[in-house]
Structure 1
């Protein structure tokens, strides 16, 4: 999968490129302007773009990449940490989500896969502020699900690190069946459907269906 990191600040851009490239699962390129990104993605149909919300020409970039829905390139904006209120930042038309610039490699990787699948990613704090609903968010807000137990929180953290069931069991000293039971409970209580969504949830990011 191709990923373009579009950021006008060279140090931040280089750090993000290095973070994602180090995982060995993406072809990552850094770009300092909208025109560079457009030229890059036009020769790479299977791409995801992570662009600074203050990138010069970002509005033009979003409009150009939105294009035909059949060949749309998803774009998530990068900016302040998740505590930032959505009313302050805003999410312009054409954007498929928002990610904090200080997100770690695991969170970025999970977000890229989610964006490529056609879903949107938003900080959990935005979900609460705007009333937007991710899978199971209404139930969580209403208190229908009990809080995670200590062991379930440990499992969620390890899911966020990308560990397999076998690795989680080894780390926590649990059998395969017990790990599956804990993961099932985590899915139910967090209102997620799969490992990628659980991993994003562990990083404070929720998924909105397309």
Structure 2
């Protein structure tokens, strides 16, 4: 009985320590503010894809991102891809690999378009999050809101050549700044060695308890 109590206590403390350590790693937010300006039109056949280049602040998961439109365009989708360009504005780069593409979204009439890709990202690497009407049926055009310059939020980019996935045909024309943009990231959490040790000790003691019970059962059989 005493061994069982010791094992249960070790496991309980280990789990508590593991949970407590995970709470020390809060979600990380990239976010800018509206400048009052905008870029338009977006949603016409010649203005298919508008995106924001950003730098992953941590190694972990991109949980969600939001890009803001002035009004709705009917059908569109959101996507995230690896970006093969630098962290500061330059020409001649594009999405090297697509990580996520949402289903068509026609439920929002304007404002904040939020998607939850839940894809892995690496700290310091460049990515592009974008809205696109390619393959959808937009019912009009709108402007995309501009945002302030903030650390980790790189620059606005667009692609009017067709399917933006696995495509280096993105364009710029001029560095007009950033879209109004926000993104939420969660880190990879690893239990501290001390909590793993306690969990291991608890599991070991429980195993010893099971072995002793089996031996007693054989003796009384």
TM-score using structure 2 length: 0.22
TM-score using structure 1 length: 0.22
Structure showing the higher helix proportion among its residues:
1
Indicate the structure whose relative CO is greater, using CA pairs within 8 Å and at least 6 residues apart.
Answer: 2
Structure showing the higher strand proportion among its residues:
2
Q: Greater Rg, structure 1 or structure 2? A: 2
